[in-house]
Amino acid sequence: VIELFNGQSSPTIFEEEKSLGGFSVRGKQTKLAVLSLLLGMTAVTGACSTKEQPAANSPAADKAQSKKFKISLFNPGVNADAPHVPREQDPIGQMIEKKMNVELEMIIVPEQAPAKLNAMIASGDVPDLITTNRNDAVKFYEQGIITDLDSLLQKTPALQQLYDKARWQKSTYKGKIIGIPNDQPTAGQHGYWVRNDWLQKLGLKQPTTSDELLEVMRAFTFKDPDGNGKNDTYGFVGGLAKDGTFYSGTNQLFLMFGVYPNHIDVVNNKLVYSNTDPKMKDALAYMKKIIDEKLIDPDWVTVSDFVKTEDKMYRGKSGILVFDWRRGKEPQFQALMKAASGEIPDWITIAPPKGPYGDQFVNLDPTYSSVWGVSKKAAADPEKAQRIIELLQYMYTDKEIYPHMSYGLKDIMWKEENGKIVVTPNADAQETRWARHWRFPRTSDDPVYFGANNPKTLEYWALNKKYSKPNPAVPVLIPDPSDTLAADRIKYMNEMLLKFATGKEPLANWDTYVQTLKTKFKLDALLDNYTQQLKAEGILK
Amino acid sequence: VSPSLRRFAPLYLMLLPGLIYFATFKYIPMIGIVIAFKNYNFLDGVLHSPWVGFDNFRRFFEGIYFERILGNTLMISMYKLLFGFPAPILLALLLDQVGRKRFKRLVQTFTYMPHFMSWVVIYGILLVLLSPGEGLVNELFKKGGMEPFSFLTEPSWIRSILVGSDIWHGAGWGAIIYLAALSSIDPSLYEAARVDGAPLWRQIWHVTLPGIRNMIVVMLIIRLSHILDVGFDQVLMMSNAMNMEKADIIDTWVYRVGLLEMQFSLAAAVGLFKSVIGLVLVLGANKVAKKLDSQIW
């Protein structure tokens, strides 16, 4: 939801698979990496040279004689923490380059990508294709950095037909399409993980309400569930993003109360701003209990990224967390648990506990806001603009390139067995993680990509998907360009919510906080603006 | 052509690359300062964006967090000046007294090595040491029966951590220049002092410190020009929502409001403000230094 304001550190996109094993071992296996890369290259290039028969309707058929364009892609795919390999060592990129007669430059930014992108833009070095979200795309469009795409898309019908009207509508601004859908977010990414072995040892039931959840947290903290005689376990572990938003579990707890930090919701035909909703006060009081009673791993304040949460789960010292649906039962992650703690705990996913008002959610519906923006500078050359769109069409619609882009290096990360594609156990290996930068065309219902070794994994995923909170407002709202207080306001709210939760500011001062937001930070003007936008979209009647 | 120009032609020629460098990379980019007085947008560019006068400055000065960020910047800057500036001098003096060459080199290498570490790495080390749950220091606290303490999120600790880690990071590197100055002191002065019966601290006071006085003043003047730069990378890395009230500085605010919100004009205005303050301080400090006869110009 933070992305609504400025896209900074948006933990909602891609977080599902950002770094699957922690980067503690990186660099130790460089030799192996190089070797396997070399093997991979020969394998893949070998494979595609035998398949080199131009299909009749291939967009590449007439590309061979045409002009070669250099096209840069800014930060697509997942695992930006893995540096991209040079072009010569990237067989997937080479396949695309050959087909489309282009030279691709992959720009991968592991941290603070929005800042890096803005810095590039400010220096006039705008990437040709930019991975961004709808809000930033609007900003870029208003500033004349990216171009509208309607006329270009008319020449690529396959790409246009790939998405329905509603989806295109989500990247339309002032009647023009300003972005092409980039990456399909997955619903139900997170679920409540509970250590079943601890529940059984202490003779506890699975928690079904927020109060029961609190009780289980207490038991996990004080009743020595691991039986080592030491007071070294915690009920819960979550995180806190760098900008101060609750993150990686602590945020999902709020959903039990029907609110979510910085969220904008529509309830009974009225706009409801979570940060000033009275229910938020209850949610903060609940958080405060968890923090005051020391039920949460005290490191939560420094758990600011996916890798750190993951690490906490593998160490298994906290009995409950809200995390990725694949982590508990898949063998590759269980191996990491074994390595970190010496045991494989019986993690199970439970349905989210019900809150005092009957709210039962664990995720917000995904926003479908990830888009490709096309640089206006690149589009100044009509031929290049055309090639860029054709390139996207090829990457998103071509059946042959799909497995290479979506699953990675052939015969290393996946292989064909009896005409069926199987993902190998090496798919998550450290040294080939860069190949995931190409994963953006994968569909969110791809059974191979989202396959599981343990049937429980898919069961849990389905369970999480059942408890998605509808998200009617956020995907359509765009920030008000004349709102000069946006950054200061979000900072103030993040800080205050955190102070309420940690007890630095007594909850008795809640009304003063709401009042300050209205007077000093002009919150009402912002909410009026949002209400008008929602009325224009027909979401508010 | 004047005779002196002809005579020193090769020297002037050697000066040329330096002049071209400063013109291209320092003076020509100054034209960009105009965007501080404009509402810059990418579409209209530097030249055609509309003029807004001092609006950007006003927004900065009237900002809700202005007092907080200016106060934090000055406080952190003062602490860094007070504790951080003498640290390399002290280290250089100590190293100077070490007689054993091998040991001296070893210590020197160890003390300047942190200079090559990025703040990301240093923060990683701090996390391992100071994390409230599994950090080494807190593990020791718990072993000793003390309550664990969350150093990294406590507002009252952040400035000490910033200044302390800055000294650790930079003192060894900063000492190099003083060591060079120390080695240029005439050894016969020490001899004379010893003959006169001066003990070690007297030698330091009357020979060593006056010998490097000019260097100290020059370094101080340069340092003053950065009075409002207190290490953006470091603060961005080490501050968090919990300790922000004591750590939020001008640069981190500009990063949030200027860069992330794409308000480049505002960022330029703040940058200009900082440079003007720095310039005033440098001019003033140089004037004072003239009295000590160790001015830069």
pLDDT at B169: 94
Identify the CA nearest to A326 among candidates A186, A469, A189, A468. A189
Number of CB atoms found within 10 A of residue A274's CB: 21
> Who contacts A290 (Cβ-Cβ below 8 Å, separation ≥6)?
A214, A217, A235, A236, A253, A296
Answer whether B42 sits within 8 Å of A143, measured CB to CB: yes
* Three-class SS state of B156: helix
- Residues of chain B that touch chain A, judged by Cβ-Cβ distance less than 8 Å: 41-44, 59, 63-65, 127, 131-134, 148, 150, 152-153, 240-242, 244-245, 255-257, 259-264
**Beta-carbon contacts below 8 Å between A and B:** 86
Are the C-beta atoms of B107 and B95 separated by less than 8 Å? yes
Which among B126, B248, B260, B265 is the top mutation candidate for probing chain A, defined by the most A β-carbons within 10 Å of its own β-carbon?
Answer: B260
* Residues in chain A within 8 Å Cβ distance of B67: none
DSSP code of residue B145? T
Q: What is the pLDDT of residues A413-435, one digit of tens each?
A: 999 888 888 888 778 777 888 99
Identify the CA nearest to A72 among candidates A396, A377, A527. A377
Whole-angstrom Cα distance, residue A249 to residue A290?
13
* Three-class SS state of A7: coil
* Residues in chain B within 8 Å Cβ distance of A144: 41-44
In terms of residues, how long is chain A? Answer: 541
Query: pTM for this structure?
Result: 0.80
Answer whether B260 sits within 8 Å of A118, measured CB to CB: yes
ipTM for the whole complex: 0.79
Identify the CA nearest to A340 among candidates A18, A30, A21, A19. A21
Answer whether A302 sits within 8 Å of B152, measured CB to CB: yes
Closest residue in B to A232 (Cα) is B133
Number of CB atoms found within 10 A of residue B67's CB: 10
Q: What is the pLDDT of residues A488-511, one digit of tens each?
A: 999 999 999 999 999 999 999 999
Range of weakest confidence among A18-27, A262-271, B159-168: A18-27
Question: Would you say residue A197 has pLDDT above 80?
Answer: yes
> Who contacts A478 (Cβ-Cβ below 8 Å, separation ≥6)?
A134, A135, A138, A173, A533
Question: Would you say residue A21 has pLDDT above 60?
Answer: no
Q: What is the pLDDT of residues B146-190, one digit of tens each?
A: 888 888 888 999 999 999 999 999 999 999 999 999 998 999 999
pLDDT at A7: 33
pLDDT at A509: 95
Q: What is the pLDDT of residues B54-113, one digit of tens each?
A: 999 999 999 889 999 999 999 999 999 999 999 999 999 999 888 888 999 999 999 999
- Alpha-carbon dihedral of residues B44, B45, B49, B55, nearest 10 degrees? 140
Whole-angstrom Cα distance, residue A519 to residue A158?
51
Nearest Cβ partner of B260 from A114, A121, A142?
A: A114
